[in-house]
């Protein structure tokens, strides 16, 4: 009987070690996935911010061309557009697009 118990102890220890390794692997996979999702989300938001800035710059440049305003006048316009957009609960980009249509 003692020999039978001794013979089953080794497979149980092996199974226990395998389950511990599997558990560690799963935990590490979950951590990696969470970190990867966080980095991907930050990169996506950063790319969105860059695209928004480029589009706003393009719209403001179009307004400058249509109106013949100077660079300093456009800086002042951009500041006022930002304040107005906040008051209207919209974005500066949308306000600038509407302004461009008006000026055209």
Quick: pLDDT tens for 6-48: 566 667 778 788 889 899 999 999 999 999 999 999 999 999 9
- Structural domain boundaries in the chain: 2-103
Is 0.85 topped by the overall pTM? Answer: no
> What is the reported pLDDT for 10?
65
> What is the reported pLDDT for 7?
60
- Cα→Cα distances 8→20, 36, 60, 63, Å: 18, 42, 78, 82
Percent over 70 (pLDDT), the chain: 90
DSSP 14: H
């Amino acid at each position: 009987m003692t020999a039978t118990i001794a013979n089953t102890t080794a497979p149980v220890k092996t199974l226990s070690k395998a389950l511990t390794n599997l558990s560690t692997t799963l935990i590490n996979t979950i951590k990696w996935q969470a970190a990867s999702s966080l980095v991907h989300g930050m990169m996506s938001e950063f790319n969105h911010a860059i695209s928004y800035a480029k589009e706003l710059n393009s719209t403001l440049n179009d307004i400058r061309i249509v109106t013949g305003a100077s660079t300093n006048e456009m800086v002042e316009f951009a500041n006022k557009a930002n304040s107005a957009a906040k008051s209207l609960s919209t974005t500066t980009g949308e306000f600038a697009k509407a302004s461009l249509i008006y000026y055209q």
